[in-house]
Amino acid sequence: MFVPIVQYSLNGIADAFDDFAPHKAKQPLSTVAKVKLSASERKPVAETAAGGGKQSSQQARNVSPPAEVKQAPEREWNFGVGPRPGEQHGKSLLGKSDPTVWFEAAAALPPLPASDQPISDEDVERLRQQGEQMLANEAASFEREMQKRNAADYKWLQQVKRQGTTADKVAAITLQVQESAVANLAGLDMLLGWVTRRQGGREVVRQALEALQELFLTVLLPDGRRLKHLESQPLASLPSGKEGAKYLLWWFLEDQIKVRYGLFVGALEECSRDNLEFLKDKATKALYTLLVKKPEAEARLLGALVNKLGDPARKLASKAGYLLSQLLLQHPVMKPVVLRELERFVFRPGLQDRARYYAVVFMNQLPLNRKESEGGASLAGKLVGLYFTLFRMVVEGSIGLAAATRKLQVAAMHVCGYAA
């Protein structure tokens, strides 16, 4: 006979589940306050959990830390909606009918009369600050106009200048400076930085040097005149209003280009003394090209080219003499200026005899005539005096130029016919 082990009463079962009746619940389970445990009472999940506790602790150990949130890349500012916050630049002073080359636009303005009224240094500084603000306005206006005109080209140029190769960066900067020099002096400064600080290696210097030479020859330096600093302009005659603002814009830009061209000439002088032959050759050719085509910084360029007669590389020293002869063929009226620079060169203390010899060879090949515009008889007389001074120094032993003694004799006899 079957005997039940435990006998449950139906009333007991009902009473057991009666505590879960909804009407007996005083507050929802989610609102029950959690019991705060002390530090000693807190135990790891693996120690307190039973049965499924091991699985829970295993899952807790397998939880990876939250992934680091990556910042979104910086987006290009859309100048079509206006300038950036904090860069509320004014509108451009230039119209669509104005020439794109700055010195052509400046020449199109009516000339201002000279004024005897002096202008103080404070006024010059105030005008200089206004000019800086005008250049900033033109740069911001140029960016807005480029993005409105062709947003794809603008984005491409910006990407190339940030991430492109050196050749691409140089090409992009050159293109923008050619389009508007007044709005892209920052790009010009970048090219100058590569040349003056030798950033990126000799090949980068060469590419930037060629680009700067092209820019100064085409869109930065005017023909037939030298640049002026801002204080050398007729500032006292500056008209008021928009017309006067245009004068100030071009005058300040001219001042800034003059400063940067001086830095470029100094960089060429340094490159002409570099250890690498190809860079010295490139810089020497640039000195000659700028000297032939532009009058700006003529004295510095000529002095640097004459100094190459003393280059340790004989090939380059001989080439410097050839370039000087080509210079006089292009500008024969420069003969007195070149001879004066040669005179300073040959009597320089500590000059090597070979450098002095190359100078004598060049002077012996100097073309002479009786035209007063090219020096005439006075130039020939100066050459005769220079030859005999060198001959006396050789005889006295103060300079060791024995190899040039015969050339000095022949040159003196040749020049005497023009000096008479």
How far is CA 143 from its chain centroid? 18
Q: Is the pLDDT of residue 86 over 50?
A: no
Amino acid at the residue 101: V
User: Token pair of 199, please?
Assistant: 């950033």
Q: Residue 253 is inside which H or E element, if any?
A: helix 241-271
Nearest to 109 by CA among 231, 208, 239, 298: 239
Pair of tokens at residue 251 = 């005058």
pLDDT band for position 45 (cuts 50, 70, 90): very low
Domain range annotation of the chain: 89-271, 313-420
pLDDT for res 79: 39
Q: Specify the range with the lowest mean pLDDT, choosing from 154-168, 373-387, 399-413.
A: 399-413
CA 203 to chain centre: 16
pLDDT at 99: 87
pTM of the model: 0.75
Q: For residues 395 and 411, what is the distance between their CA atoms, to the nearest angstrom?
A: 17
Assigned token pair, 28:
């929802």
pLDDT band at 8 (very low <50, low <70, confident <90, very high): very low
Measure Cα distances from 300 to 53, 114, 260, 261, 297 in Å.
88, 29, 14, 11, 6
The confidence score (pLDDT) of residue 315 equals: 94
For the chain, helix, strand, coil in percent to 5 are 65, 0, 35
Which is more confident, 386 or 417? 386
- What pLDDT, in 10s, does the model give residues 28-44? 544 444 445 555 545 44
CA-angle at 112, arms to 105 and 243, nearest 5°:
55
Across 109-123, 129-143, 209-223, least confident range: 109-123
